[in-house]
Amino acid sequence: MCGIVGYWGKHGAKASIVEKMTKAIQHRGPDDFGIWLNNEGNLALGHRRLSIIDLTPAGHQPMHSPCGRFTLVYNGEIYNHQDLRVELEKEGGHFKWRGHSDSETLLAALRHWGVEKALQRLNGMFAFALWDDSEKSLFLARDRMGEKPLYYGNNGKTFLFGSELKSLVAHPAWKGEVDRNALTLYMRHNNVPSPWSIYENINKLPPAHFVVIRDAGETISEPQCYWDLAQIAEKGCADLKYDEKKSIDELDDLLRDSVLRRMASDVPLGTFLSGGFDSTIVTALMQSQSDSPIKTFTIGFHEEGYNEATHAKAIAEHLGTEHTELYVTPEEAMDVIPKLPIIWDEPFSDSSQIPTLLVSELARKHVTVSLSGDGGDELFYGYQRYTKGHGIWKKLDLLPVSLRRALGYGLENLPGKTIEQSLKFLPERLQVPHLADRLPKIADIIKESSGESFYHRLVSHWKDPASLVKGGMEPMTLFNNKERLLRLPGLPERMMYLDSMTYLPDDILTKVDRASMAVSLEARVPLLDHRVVEFAWKLPMSMKYRNGKGKHLLREVLYRYVPREMMDRPKMGFGVPIDEWLRGPLREWGEELLSEKRLSEEGFFDPEPIRNMWEEHVSGKRRWHYYLWDVLMFQAWLETQGI
């Protein structure tokens, strides 16, 4: 795992500048660094190395092909690189390997097969830049599911790229302007989705794409897709597997191989264990293929409703792992908040970033690599919002759109708090918690005319962000682009597809990458092996959702390793009590960032709705913490930028 940077300008490049850019992401690679300038002296590549495979100088980057034509800087891991070496030797004759790093294998594959064909053979997580000196072209590429980040774009007369925005900002000619359109997307999704970034003219390369840059950045190709999840989803749903016993065996074999490949390391490794299904199955498969107890790590909280550490400990004892847990006080958790805008580089407001950072810090004290269980929800129908959302939509879809809209407008004007008070006499089982908060959300989503727009509203934070962001217009995304609707059987499949293309790379994987790399820890995600993804799309919904529970087939595999009774319990999120903190210890901090004077002077938001929400929240009248955390994280980020 590493960090990459580079720039290309018509007026020359300097080693001192690219060295400064690499220092900005030293946390991604504290073990080694390298810089290289091309013969013309106008292109500079930089690399920070976290040594995982081949700790010798043979893995040093930037890495040059033996012929001298190609130069590579690369971040990630290629899990099938030994297989690729065998294939390369069969096709291309004898290769004189300098070491056993996957970087050298990747460079050889790119040279032998070309960029697109090589990408289609890779099993891994990666982002890389490849310079072709013969064609005077720079290739940038990103892995299939978006595990590794890559930013790029022109800043003035200089083309810049890097693993994190802070490396681009470190360039002395940097002039960053907030993209107000991207800000509207952030306010809706609590992250800035690809291909946008928070800065104008700087893009994120979408997962499973590559671009070609020529003429010092004057010519940038459109991102080119080398692995199309839309096609995979459509073809999978058209050719479903119906033999459940065979499918369980096949999934077990696939996952075992995926985990085993991600256990390859020349440094100590372990796994995050939250106690949920996904982290447990990764841990179980890892332990079953290890000759000694693996290391597992869990963060615990004393607050009821936020703690899975007791379940994780029981699972660790059953599997026989070497388990480490750390119970965190609210004060310790809140201490990391000032670090968040610096670590995440652009506004990011999924509050589970806090425990993710804490468990990464814990793991890094013992290992350099940790496996993570992310991805199971998107592939195997695991989120509660899928089941609840689909259930609601099936009922709503029976009603005419005109009637639904009338009901929605009526609910918007109901006094939720008054209704809550009047219903208190009902039995507890009939009570509706936080009805005042839920009524506006219900009113909003029932007015939608299609399943996609319904789900878009369901997963949105701010429902009309363009009215909040001054000068911002919300761009079209996958959610509202009717030209990109897929031929999938129903709303359940479309929800999983939309999340796999948006929420998974832009929220979940961004969260894991930044939290782990901030402490120089490599996180690997076995459930997102592309073979597992392709397999999951061939499963009928009956193998994903059964008896009111998601992840059916994944559960059946897990029950081979962990007793059913240990796992059959309600799903618990990996979060922190932000709503309570904003009324208590974070209130003064929030008040300062959200003061009407400050919001007006900065000029990004309309202060009135924000102030109304803040006052209602701190008074206990309403729970607006999700919306407010979005604004607070932008404000905290803005404060670090000096804009």
Would you kindly state where each structural domain of the chain is located, as residue ranges? Answer: 2-227, 578-641
pLDDT for 442 equals 72
Judged by DSSP in three states, 389 sits in: helix
pLDDT of residue 477: 94
Nearest to 43 by CA among 80, 73, 75, 78: 73
CB-based burial of residue 125 (10 Å sphere; 0-12 exposed, 13-18 middle, 19+ buried)?
buried
pLDDT for the residue numbered 61: 94
Cα torsion through 99, 103, 107, 113, rounded to 10 = 110
The span from the first CA to the last CA of the chain, in angstroms, equals 31
> Mean pLDDT for each 10-residue chunk of the chain (643 residues)?
91 93 96 94 95 84 95 97 94 82 96 97 98 97 98 95 97 94 98 98 98 96 97 95 96 98 94 95 98 95 75 96 93 93 96 95 97 97 94 86 78 58 49 58 76 92 96 94 81 96 98 98 98 98 95 97 87 76 95 97 97 96 94 96 76
Positions annotated as catalytic residues are: 2
Beta strands in 228-309 (DSSP E): 269-272, 295-301
Class of domain 2-227: alpha beta
pLDDT at 431: 47
Write down the pLDDT at residue 169. 96
| Distance in angstroms (rounded) separating the CA atoms of residues 120 and 456 | 31
> Would you state the pLDDT for residue 23?
97
Is there a contact between 17 and 167 (Cβ–Cβ < 8 Å)?
no
